Amino acid sequence: MAFSFSWPLRDNLTLSPLQIGVLLKKFFFSSFQKKISLKWPNDLLDIHGKKVGGILIHHFGECLIVGVGINLNPDTENKKFDYPHSFLLDTKMAVTQSLYEEIYSYLLHHQNINDEEIKREWNQACFHLNKKVLIIDEEQKIEGTFIGIGALGEALLENQQGIQKVYAGSLRF
């Protein structure tokens, strides 16, 4: 299941992917009783750490364009994945226009959560909180214990150099 939509700009633009992740986590729990964990900066994981989805955001003029992809149900037996993956639902479910509308409506209805709520709820749902991680950004590699997200949504890693702030990259456990 993949879809995109426009999203209003927020004062703290860099928290937007984290905000969408928190809201999707809440939607799938309230609608399907499925727990989702979050991986910095924009992945949705099942409770075992396997990827069930992702979020991409592009700044476009006066709004954001948000793309969401979710491994909703096991209808992709012949597809190959380059990462440990899972499916959010155990049974096949027809993806209908009403499901997209339901998700979007939920997101819009709950979009006004403030920065502190986003950070608190994101940290609570973080799969790798207080675990050793590696973040790779181009040629730079930073290792440390992931201790949460900062004011701008940056990853906070604690290592021998102290607390490192990482603003972009691919996180690995």
pTM of the model: 0.89
How much is the pLDDT for 42?
A: 94
What is the SS3 assignment for 130?
coil
How much is the pLDDT for 84?
A: 61
CB atoms within 10 A of CB 76: 12
User: How many Å separate Cα 67 from the centre of its chain?
Assistant: 11
The DSSP result for 77-92, as a single string, is: TT---SS-B--SSSS-
Average of per-residue pLDDT across 9-36: 93
How much is the pLDDT for 18?
A: 96
Tokens read off for 111: 């979009």
Flag whether pLDDT at 105 surpasses 80: yes
Question: How distant, in Å, are the alpha carbons of 63, 134, 147, 160 from that of 155?
Answer: 24, 11, 8, 16
Domain 2-125: give its CATH architecture. Answer: 2-Layer Sandwich (3.30)
Cα–Cα distance for residue pair 16/18, rounded to 1 Å: 5
DSSP-assigned beta bridge partners for residue 58: 65
Dump pLDDT digits (tens) for 110-142. Answer: 999 999 999 999 999 999 999 999 999 988 999
pLDDT confidence of 11, banded at 50, 70, 90?
Answer: confident
Is 132-172 in CATH node 2.30.30.100?
A: yes
The secondary structure of residue 75, as a DSSP letter, is: -
Locate the domains of the chain by residue range.
2-125, 132-172
pLDDT confidence of 45, banded at 50, 70, 90?
Answer: very high
Place of tokens 């149900």: 73
Q: Which residue has the higher pLDDT, 82 or 138?
A: 138
Q: What are phi and psi of 121, to 5 degrees?
A: -70, -35
